[in-house]
Structure 1
Amino acid sequence: MASSIPTILTTLFIFLLKSTISQQINTNTNPKDPDCTDRWIHIRRLPSRFNTDLLSNCSEYPLFDDFCPYLPNHGLGQRTHSKSHSWFRTDPLMLELIFHRRMLEYPCLTPDPNSANAVYLPYYGGIDSLRYLYGPDVNSSVEHGLELFDFVKEQDSPNVWARHKGHDHFLVMARPAWDLSQPLYKDPPVWGTSFLELPEFYNVTVLTFEARAWPWQERAVPYPTSFHPPNLSLLESWIHRVRRSRRSTLMLFAGGGGVAATRNIRRSIRDECGNDTNSSANYSNGYVKLCEIVDCSNGICEHDPIRYMKPMLEASFCLQPPGDTPTRRSTFDSILAGCIPVFFEELSAKMQYKWHMPEEEYEEFSVFIPKEEVVYKGLKILDVLMGIPRDRVWRMREKVLELMPRVMYRRHGSSVDLRTKKDAFDIAVEGTLQRIKSRLQDRSVTFN
C-alpha cells in the first residue's frame, strides 16, 4: 500500500496542474489589460517526463531521503498540525512544484508565445538531478538537460526557441548552482551535474537557491520556508506575534557542524557559546541568556519548524555561518521570526538575493562580522553584538519585519488582499521579466 502513495499523489497533482493551467489560460489572456504591459508570460507545454513524472520515483533514490511526504499541497508538504493554516513541513527541493503552481495563477499568462515577454519552462531540474547525484546515472551527469534542450529546440514549436535563441526563457532549479556546474567531461566525475555548463543553456535565465558570481544566466531566489499564509489576516497576525515576542536571548545559532577539530566559523561559534555563556558576562539589556545553540545535525530540523522557530522568536540575533555553501535556508527562517541575521561572508546573502533584499539596505537589517576576524584573530561575536545600541537593534528588527513578505512564498490560491503584498515569487518573476527585457534590448547581444 505504501508504494502506491507516490502514484496517487502524482496522479492527483497532474490532474490539478492540467485543470488549473487550462482555467488560467482561458481567463487571463486579455491583451488590452494595461496591468500586463511588458508582463506577459507563456508557459511552454513540456511532456510530463520533464516534471510531474519525476515525482513518481520520490522514494527510490539511493542514499537520498524519501521525499514523498513533501509532495502534498502542491509541494508545500503536510501541515505541521491539523489546525494549521499557514505552517507546513516544506522541503526546499519542492520549490519547483511550488513555483509551477504559482505560475498557473499568474495574472498575465498568454497561450501565444509570440506575444509573450518571457517564456517559462516548467522543468523540475533539481528533482531530475537526483538520478545523476544519487541514482543509476551518476556517471553520466554531463547529459543532465540535453533531452530538454533537444525537445524545446527541435520537437515542440522550434520557432519559439529560435526567435531569441532562448534569451527569453527562464526556469527554476531547486539546488545551489554549485550542484549543477560540474565541469564538462571531467574524469573522474565529481559531485554535481553539468546542466549550467551546457552551452545550449547559456542564454536561459536560471533561478536557483544560490548563484555563482560570474555567469550571467544565474540568479538566486529565497529558499522556501515552512510559512505559507493563505490570507492577509494570518500574515498580520504572525507579524504581530513576532513584534511582541520577548527577546530574552542575545544570539542564537540553529544548525549543525562545528564539532570537528578543524578551525572554522561554526567551531568558533560553538566554542564561544560554550565558554562565554557560563561565565560572569554582563547580562544587560534584559537578556537572560547570551547564547543558545539549537542542534540541527543530521537534518532533524529541516521539516520540523517548531524546533527552531520558538527559540528564534526569543532571540535578538540569529547567526548565519556558511556551511557546505555560503547560503542557508535559516536566513529566511530567522527573518520570519524577527531575529536579526548575522552574516560572516558577503556571499551568504548580500551578493545573492539582491532582488529580495537590496544590497544597499543590508546595514539596516543585518550585522556583518568577517569570519576571518573571528576564527583567526579572536574577535568575539558577543562583544560585537552587545556593543550595538538598543535603539538600533529595535530599528533593525522593524526592518526585518518589513522584509518578511518579500522572502516568504504565500500559499497558492491565497486571498486577494494578501496578493497586494509582493512575496518571493512575485519579486522573482518581476526581476526575471526585467532581466530578460534588458537582455533583449541590449544591442550588444548577438543571437547566434
Structure 2
Amino acid sequence: MSASVVIFFLIAAAALLPFTATSLQIQQPDCTGRRIHIRRLPPRFNADLLANCSAYPLFTDSFCPYTANHGLGLKTHNRSQSWYRTDPLLLELLFHRRMLEYPCLTPDPSVADAVFLPYYSALDALKYLYGPEVNSSFNHGLDLYRFLRSDQPLLWSRWSGHDHFLVMARPAWDFSQPLSNDPPIWGTSFLELPEFFNVTALTFESRPWPWQEQAIPYPTSFHPPNLPLLDAWAHRVRSSKRTNLALFAGGGGISASPNIRRSIRIECENQNSTNPDSDRYTKLCEVVDCSNGVCEHDPIRYMKPMLRSNFCFQPPGDTPTRRSTFDSILAGCIPVVFEDQSAKSQYSWHLPEEDFGEFSVFIPKEDVVYKGLKIMDVLMAIPSWKVKKMREKVLEIMPRTIYRSHGSSPGLRAKKDAFDIAVENTLKRIKSRLEEV
C-alpha cells in the first residue's frame, strides 16, 4: 500500500472518530477510567512525514515500502498472512492505526482519561539526525509544543501535559541530547525540553531514570490477524527440533578491542571446530552475520536458525537492548543477556522483572570478556528439563510482546498483545500522576 493510501485511510478514519467512539462507549460500559481522546494534529506532524518518505534514503532507497499495511510493511511473500517486512521506525504509524480501533475512544477531551498525540516523532527526527537541520536538533518538538499551546490551550494547560502520551519509535537516548551541546553530537533534545517533561513517552528503550519514558517492545515481523494463526505458530515453535545449543544473529565483534560481541564470536568459532557434545547438538553455536543491516527486513534469515537453537545471545550494541531479543522470544529461543539494562530493567510492563530468570539467562559481560568465563559452559550446565521449562515460559509471554495486525479477529483481541499492555499501563501511569498532581 502506498503512503498516499495510508494517509487517506488515517484521515478518513479520524473523521469518523466522533461517531465510532460514541457508539463504542454506549456498547461498552466498562470504559470508566479508560477513555482516550486522540488529539487532531496538522498533517505536518504525521501524514506529511509519510508523504515525504523518499526524502531520507536510510535503507536501499527510502522507508516508503515500510509504510505499507499501515506500518506493518510489505508481506514477506504474497501468500503470507502474518509475516511482514516490518521496520521498527514505523511503529508510530502502526500504533496510530491500532489506536483507531481502541474501544474506549472519545471525541470529547473533557471526559478523556488520557490524550494520545499521533505525532510521528521518529520520522520527524530524521531531518535533525540525517538531514539539513542537524545543527538545530535542539528545536525538535518546539513546533508541536507551540501548536498544543495555541490550539485548544485549555486541553493542554489543565494538567500541563500530564495526561498526554505519545510513541517515539527510537530509543530514548536518541531524543536526549543535552540542550547545552554546541555543536550537537547525536540525537535530538525532545526529551530534554522542559515543555515535555510531563508527557509520557513510549520508547523502544528508556533511560535508567524513566520519569518521562517507558520502554515498550520493538515490533517483530509477526503480526497475526487471528487466533488460529497465533496458535499454529506457537505449535511450530514448541515442536521445532533444537539441533543447536546457541545462536548469535547480529553484526560487530570483529574489532581487536575486548568486547562482548568479540568474545561471543571467538567462542562460537572455537566451539564449532571442537564440538564436545556432537551426539546432542549438530552445532554448539551458530552465527548469522547481520552486518550492514542485511537481516533488518528479512526475517527468514534469522527466524529459521532461531527455531533450531535453544539459546539466543543478546549482547548490547549501540544501546543496551536489541530488537533481536523479541525475535528470539517469538522463536522460543531463550534469550541470553549480558547486562541488566538489556531488558530486565527496561520492559517491566511486558516482561515482569520478577519473572526474568524463568525465561532468560543472565551472564555478566565482564565475567566473559575479562575473567575468561565460557558462555557455553554456563549453558551446557543447564539441565534439559529446565531448558524445556524456560521455553514454555517464553511461549507464555510471547503473545505479550508481539503487535497483532489491525482488524484482527475477536478471538485474538481477547488476548492482550504489546499494544494492549502498553495502553493499559499508560492509563494507570497517567492516573497515578494526576492523583499526585
What band does the TM-score fall into relative to the shorter chain? Answer: over 0.9
SS at 1:71's partner residue?
helix
1:180 aligns with 2:166: no
Distance, in Å, in 2 between the alignment partners of 1:279 and 1:40 is 60
Change (3 A) 1:64 1:141: farther
Number of positions where the alignment pairs a residue of Structure 1 with one of Structure 2:
434
SS at 1:277's partner residue?
helix
Distance, in Å, in 1 between the alignment partners of 2:35 and 2:94 is 20
**Residue in 2 aligned with 1:266?**
261
Q: Decide whether the 8 Å contact of 2:128 with 2:188 is kept in 1.
A: yes
Q: Give the Å deviation of 1:422.
A: 0.3
**Residue in 1 aligned with 2:194?**
199
- The structure 2 residue matched to 1:19, chosen from 2, 12, 18, is 12
Per-residue CA distance 1:93-130 (angstroms, 9 max, x = gap): 00000000000000000001110000000000000000
- The structure 2 residue matched to 1:237, chosen from 209, 232, 235, is 232
**Residue in 1 aligned with 2:376?**
382
Per-residue CA distance 1:166-225 (angstroms, 9 max, x = gap): 000000010001111100031121011000000000000000000001140110000001
- The structure 1 residue matched to 2:247, chosen from 239, 244, 252, is 252
Q: Give the Å deviation of 1:300.
A: 0.1
- The structure 2 residue matched to 1:103, chosen from 81, 93, 99, is 99
SS at 2:429's partner residue?
helix
SS at 1:170's partner residue?
strand
Q: Decide whether the 8 Å contact of 2:320 with 2:342 is kept in 1.
A: yes
**Residue in 2 aligned with 1:415?**
409
Structure 1 segment 267-306 matched on structure 2, within 5 A? 267-283=262-278, 286-306=280-300
Q: Decide whether the 8 Å contact of 2:57 with 2:63 is kept in 1.
A: no
* CA RMSD in angstroms, aligned pairs only: 1.2
- The structure 1 residue matched to 2:90, chosen from 85, 94, 98, is 94
Q: Percent identity?
A: 69
- The structure 2 residue matched to 1:54, chosen from 43, 49, 53, is 49
Per-residue CA distance 1:382-431 (angstroms, 9 max, x = gap): 00000001111000000000111100000000011100000000000001
Distance, in Å, in 2 between the alignment partners of 1:143 and 1:54 is 17
Distance, in Å, in 2 between the alignment partners of 1:19 and 1:206 is 26
**Residue in 2 aligned with 1:350?**
344
**Residue in 2 aligned with 1:39?**
34
- The structure 2 residue matched to 1:165, chosen from 160, 164, 179, is 160
Q: Give the Å deviation of 1:276.
A: 1.5
Distance, in Å, in 2 between the alignment partners of 1:391 and 1:63 is 45
Q: Decide whether the 8 Å contact of 1:268 with 1:374 is kept in 2.
A: yes
**Residue in 2 aligned with 1:143?**
139
Normalising by structure 2, report the TM-score: 0.97
- The structure 1 residue matched to 2:311, chosen from 304, 311, 317, is 317
Distance, in Å, in 2 between the alignment partners of 1:280 and 1:91 is 37
**Residue in 1 aligned with 2:79?**
83
Per-residue CA distance 1:250-294 (angstroms, 9 max, x = gap): 00000000001011000000000011121142335x321100000
Q: Which residues of structure 2 form unaligned runs of 5+?
A: none
Distance, in Å, in 2 between the alignment partners of 1:373 and 1:142 is 39
Structure 1 segment 100-139 matched on structure 2, within 5 A? 100-139=96-135
Q: Decide whether the 8 Å contact of 2:82 with 2:225 is kept in 1.
A: yes
Distance, in Å, in 2 between the alignment partners of 1:123 and 1:182 is 20
Q: Decide whether the 8 Å contact of 1:10 with 1:53 is kept in 2.
A: no
Distance, in Å, in 2 between the alignment partners of 1:62 and 1:237 is 37
Per-residue CA distance 1:354-401 (angstroms, 9 max, x = gap): 000100000110000000000000000000000001111000000000
Change (3 A) 1:342 1:188: same
Letter in structure 1 aligned against 2:2: L
Q: Decide whether the 8 Å contact of 2:7 with 2:50 is kept in 1.
A: no
- The structure 1 residue matched to 2:361, chosen from 364, 367, 383, is 367
Q: Give the Å deviation of 1:51.
A: 0.3
Change (3 A) 1:404 1:194: same
SS at 2:245's partner residue?
strand
**Residue in 2 aligned with 1:4?**
none
Q: Give the Å deviation of 1:55.
A: 1.3
- The structure 1 residue matched to 2:400, chosen from 406, 417, 426, is 406
Letter in structure 2 aligned against 1:113: P
Q: Which residues of structure 1 form unaligned runs of 5+?
A: 1-7
Change (3 A) 1:31 1:55: closer
Q: Decide whether the 8 Å contact of 1:220 with 1:352 is kept in 2.
A: yes
Q: Decide whether the 8 Å contact of 2:138 with 2:179 is kept in 1.
A: yes
SS at 1:73's partner residue?
helix
Distance, in Å, in 2 between the alignment partners of 1:390 and 1:199 is 52
**Residue in 1 aligned with 2:21?**
28
SS at 1:18's partner residue?
helix
Stretch deviating more after TM superposition (12-21 or 71-80): 12-21
Q: Decide whether the 8 Å contact of 1:62 with 1:135 is kept in 2.
A: no
Per-residue CA distance 1:25-54 (angstroms, 9 max, x = gap): 312325563321110000000001000101
Letter in structure 2 aligned against 1:265: I
Distance, in Å, in 2 between the alignment partners of 1:255 and 1:67 is 21
Per-residue CA distance 1:67-94 (angstroms, 9 max, x = gap): 0111110011100000000000000000
Stretch deviating more after TM superposition (53-62 or 386-395): 53-62
SS at 2:201's partner residue?
strand
Distance, in Å, in 2 between the alignment partners of 1:63 and 1:415 is 35
Distance, in Å, in 2 between the alignment partners of 1:202 and 1:64 is 33
SS at 2:288's partner residue?
strand
Q: Decide whether the 8 Å contact of 2:3 with 2:68 is kept in 1.
A: no
**Residue in 2 aligned with 1:3?**
none
Q: Give the Å deviation of 1:59.
A: 1.8
SS at 2:313's partner residue?
strand
